[in-house]
Amino acid sequence: WPIFADDIDAILDLKRQRNAVVLAHNYQTPEIFHCVADIVGDSLALARKAMTVEADVIVLAGVHFMAETAKLLNPGKTVLIPDTAAGCSLAESITPEDVRRLRQCHPGVPVVTYVNTSAAVKAESDICCTSGNAKAVVEALGVPRVIMLPDEYLARNIAAETDVEIITWQGHCEVHELFAPADIRQLREDHPGVTVLAHPECPPDVVAEADFAGSTAAMSDYVARQKPSRVVLMTECSMSDNVAVDHPEIEFIRPCNLCPHMKRVTLANIRAALEQNRHEVTIAPEVAGRARLAVERMLAI
Ligand code: 13P
Ligand code: SF4
């Protein structure tokens, strides 16, 4: 990719000079994912790997809650987010006050919080989960009912797989809520034999019509293991682009929706982050301790 060569070379140099690593989510564009990232993965893998980073600086090529999670788990490092406006509609959907009110309405019911939330919301929670471990977390609590927030669809999709009763919130991912069951029917008609994989942030009627539902890492593993001849990933656009690079023999059908927050991160602002040490992620100490506990409880499962 010659148009990116200047920024890529600069970022590789800056990483060496600053003893920095780039952690990139699976929704980052291929030139970031394949050319400058040291560690790639889903939210769960990025959290786990952030914890063991030894470099001085972590650049989180992803959205803000992912950078906060890295900072919570490795607080001695400088964590940079290339664009502070890289948010998430799920994280925006709930406040710490909302969590406190929910607890009042359901006394004694544990709160399981999706990592796609602010550190302040995590701090009000008993434990976190990601799309990759939500069922395991809910069941590990050993209780008949949990509050799972803020993603209504993830909660309903997990509720369909467990006997634990789940009380949810009305947050939605602005990317995955756009997929509909009619899209899957049309895809199957237009591309006979296509295998349909969906992210569990999709509405339950979409997940019900898919062949498999799982986190971004689980979708990637499914493709590598099952090697379907044609596949569609009902998720963010860059996911197919990144997975397709490793599987030239597989036909990727690509209707997709862009996450405007993920797309705020570019090679240019990763380079600027390293050159100017911007934008450093900080978490108020009164929030950090409790939020860290919720994330660490999740990682212990
Ligand atoms: P994963 O944890 O599956 O990577 O999902 C993160 C996300 O933001 C999905 O929209
Ligand atoms: Fe948030 Fe959805 Fe974007 Fe993921 S894809 S970061 S859940 S808005």
Looking at the DSSP assignment, which residues form a beta bridge with residue 295?
A: none
Does 242 carry a binding-site annotation? no
Does 199 carry a binding-site annotation? yes
Given the CA of residue 215, which atom of ligand 1 is nearest to it?
Answer: 3
- Residue 220's contacts (CB-CB under 8 Å, 6 or more residues apart) are 26, 239, 243
Given the CA of residue 259, which atom of ligand 1 is nearest to it?
Answer: 10
Alpha helices by DSSP H, listed for 193-299, are 204-209, 216-226, 237-245, 267-276, 285-299
Per-residue model confidence as pLDDT tens digits over 171-222: 999 999 999 999 999 999 999 999 999 999 999 999 999 999 999 999 999 9
- Residue 94's contacts (CB-CB under 8 Å, 6 or more residues apart) are 117, 121, 149, 150, 169, 171
Residues with CB under 6 A from ligand 1: 26, 42-44, 116, 130-132, 173, 199, 201, 215-216
**Identity of the residue numbered 299:** L
Distance 124 CA to ligand 1 centre (A): 21
* Mean of pLDDT values over 274-278: 98
Given the CA of residue 44, which atom of ligand 1 is nearest to it?
Answer: 2
Query: What distance in Å separates the CA atoms of residue 171 and residue 277, rounded to the nearest whole number?
Result: 33
Distance 27 CA to ligand 2 centre (A): 9
Mean pLDDT of the chain: 97
Per-residue model confidence as pLDDT tens digits over 136-174: 999 999 999 999 999 999 999 999 999 999 999 999 999
Our CA dihedral for 263, 31, 33, 93, rounded to 10 degrees, sits at 0
Does 216 carry a binding-site annotation? yes
Please tell me if the CB atom of residue 183 comes closer than 6 angstroms to any atom of ligand 2. Answer: no
- Residue 235's contacts (CB-CB under 8 Å, 6 or more residues apart) are 27, 175, 176, 197, 198, 199, 202, 216, 219, 256, 257
Write down the ipTM of this complex. Answer: 0.98
Best of 33, 42, 153 for a ligand 1 pocket test (most atoms within 8 Å of beta carbon)? 42
- The backbone torsions φ and ψ at residue 286, rounded to the nearest 5 degrees and listed phi first, read -70, -20
Does 256 carry a binding-site annotation? no
Note the pTM of the prediction, 2 decimals: 0.97
Please tell me if the CB atom of residue 234 comes closer than 6 angstroms to any atom of ligand 2. Answer: no
Q: What is the structure's pLDDT at 279?
A: 98
Does 53 carry a binding-site annotation? no
Distance 20 CA to ligand 2 centre (A): 25
